[in-house]
A and B are shown apart, each in its own frame.
Chain A
Amino acid sequence: MTKLAGYRRPHPGTQPDNDYPPYRSTAKRHPTQPLVIAPQTLSELTGPLFGWDDLKPGDNDLTIQHKGEPIGERIIVSGRVLDENGKAVPNTLVEIWQANAAGRYPHKTDRHNAPIDPNFSGAGRTLTDSEGRYRFISIRPGEYPWRNHYNAWRPAHIHFSLFGQAFLTRMITQMYFPGDPLLAYDPMYTSVADDNARKRLISTFDWETTVPEQALGYRFDIVLRGRDATPMERS
């Protein structure tokens, strides 16, 4: 095997710590033993790849999955997937899921007293194009209460799941909306210590992708782990 370049480790403070007491569910669900620092091998430098054969047309439009149109403010969420070297990540799977406009998920464990929208399931997926671009059509998700602390409400958010080109670039995150007053109280958002890294979870309003009389545009660029410049003794 030729030597493969490894992936850089996270910059301090830019990733959440799994032991984060303000988010109460972490207490019994984070490892207490130190992680075993390991070399990156072929097993981690590869990973599952997906293609258009895995998707159906319209999978990236969450507003056309039912007979009627969902209630809510239509949005277009788009952006680019890049690596830490600024290079586009092409043809990679992006999966999203979100609450409806009233802040309700059609899920058996969501008991929030807000209406289910029969025209909105809240899931979508797509592949990035050759320049790492993706685009979803959806509705703006509502905020919703949860029981983490007194009067706890999640800020409006969309869950994003990405694979990149390797097991090491697998990433699940949440996209937030600009100006949301709930962000300051949200322990998932505040779990990221670094100011800039935290703020990069907030999408920006994008006039250019806003469609007149149809939908507001939000831009959310995502950065996956990038590779070291030179191959190291790894595989």
Chain B
Amino acid sequence: MSLYATANQTVGPYLHIGLTWLNRSQIAGKGVPGERVAIQGRLLDGDGEPVNDGLIEIWQANAAGRYAHPEDTQKKALDKGFRGFGRIPTDSRGAFRFSTVKPGRVPGPGGKVQAPHLVVAVFMRGLLKHLATRIYFPDDPANREDALLKLVPPERRGTLIARRRSRGTLEWNVVLQGKNETVFFDF
């Protein structure tokens, strides 16, 4: 038996009604080991206007580089209470902010490990199918060898790498169109 996947449709403007109950902006609770980091940014449309009815979801490994998922069979410890999932709506300024721990490195293509990264899904009215992107960490030497970053034209790689704002706080924006258009992936 072979079927085709159901078509995606936009979340529309009233997404909050169904999705807010699972909002998680603190991905790692107290006691979860790892380097603490807050990531903030804005979601901007093709006119540079804030998208105030958007939502991002985060998926990440723990600080040791292990996903809380049965298909990750690496011999690394899981952390109690850490699922690695975030759901953060944008506010009236198109801004979002969440806190977590920096993930460890996970296996990648060709038997090489990937640079630390968060996986991101972007949802909003006006988007018929959600977009997939990634957040990498600034000044991480592993970025140079990351298989996915290397697929991105060098002049656009910066859109995937957060910038340091202050101690423990990074900035990363989602720009839908224009000069600094964020890189989105097709997996």
Q: Is the CB of A170 within 8 A of B121?
A: yes
> Does A161 touch B at the CB level, under 8 Å?
yes
Chain B residues near A173 (CB-CB < 8 A) = 6-9
> Does B108 touch A at the CB level, under 8 Å?
yes
> Does B64 touch A at the CB level, under 8 Å?
no
- How distant is A86 from chain B, measured CB to nearest CB, in Å? 3
- How distant is A211 from chain B, measured CB to nearest CB, in Å? 24
Chain B residues near A159 (CB-CB < 8 A) = 9, 11-12, 14-15, 18
Interface mask (A13-29 → B, CB under 8 Å = 1, otherwise 0): 01111101001011111
B-side interface mostly:
loop
Q: Is the CB of A42 within 8 A of B11?
A: no
Interface mask (A132-174 → B, CB under 8 Å = 1, otherwise 0): 0000000000000000000000000001010001111011111
Q: Is the CB of A97 within 8 A of B184?
A: no
Binds A, one of B31-39, B71-79, B137-145, B164-172: B71-79
Interface mask (A166-198 → B, CB under 8 Å = 1, otherwise 0): 111011111000000000000010011000111
Chain A residues near B129 (CB-CB < 8 A) = 15-16, 18
Q: Which residue of B lies closest to A176 (CB)?
A: B9
CA distance A188 to B21 in the complex (A): 25
Q: Is the CB of B5 within 8 A of A226?
A: yes
Out of A45, A168, A223, which one reaches B4, CB within 8 Å? A223
CA distance A188 to B177 in the complex (A): 21
Chain A residues near B97 (CB-CB < 8 A) = none
Known contacts A29-B124, A172-B11; decide if A14 and B47 are in contact (CB<8 Å): no
CA distance A35 to B16 in the complex (A): 27
Q: Is the CB of A38 within 8 A of B11?
A: no
Number of interface residues of A (CB under 8 A): 84
Q: Is the CB of A167 within 8 A of B16?
A: no
Say which size band chain B's interface belongs to: 35 or more
CA distance A38 to B71 in the complex (A): 20
- How distant is A32 from chain B, measured CB to nearest CB, in Å? 5
Known contacts A10-B5, A28-B176, A86-B1; decide if A97 and B15 are in contact (CB<8 Å): yes
Q: Is the CB of A97 within 8 A of B17?
A: yes
CA distance A98 to B31 in the complex (A): 38
Chain A residues near B124 (CB-CB < 8 A) = 29
Known contacts A159-B11, A159-B18; decide if A48 and B84 are in contact (CB<8 Å): yes
Chain B residues near A96 (CB-CB < 8 A) = 18
Besides A14-B5, A31-B181, 14 new A-B residue pairs in contact (Cβ under 8 A), listed by A number: A11-B4, A16-B128, A28-B126, A37-B186, A41-B108, A42-B106, A46-B71, A84-B3, A86-B3, A96-B18, A122-B18, A165-B69, A191-B9, A233-B109
**10 closest Cβ pairs, A-B complex:** A97-B18, A25-B126, A86-B1, A28-B46, A29-B126, A46-B69, A48-B85, A16-B128, A35-B186, A174-B9
Which B residues have a C-beta under 8 Å from some C-beta of A?
1-19, 21-22, 45-47, 49, 51, 53, 57, 59, 61, 67-69, 71-74, 83-85, 106-110, 114, 117, 119, 121, 123-132, 134, 147-148, 151-152, 156, 176-178, 181-187
Which A residues have a C-beta under 8 Å from some C-beta of B?
1-2, 4, 7, 10-11, 14-18, 20, 23, 25-33, 35-49, 54, 82-86, 95-97, 99, 105-107, 109-110, 121-125, 159, 161, 165-168, 170-174, 188, 191-192, 196-198, 200-201, 222-226, 233-235
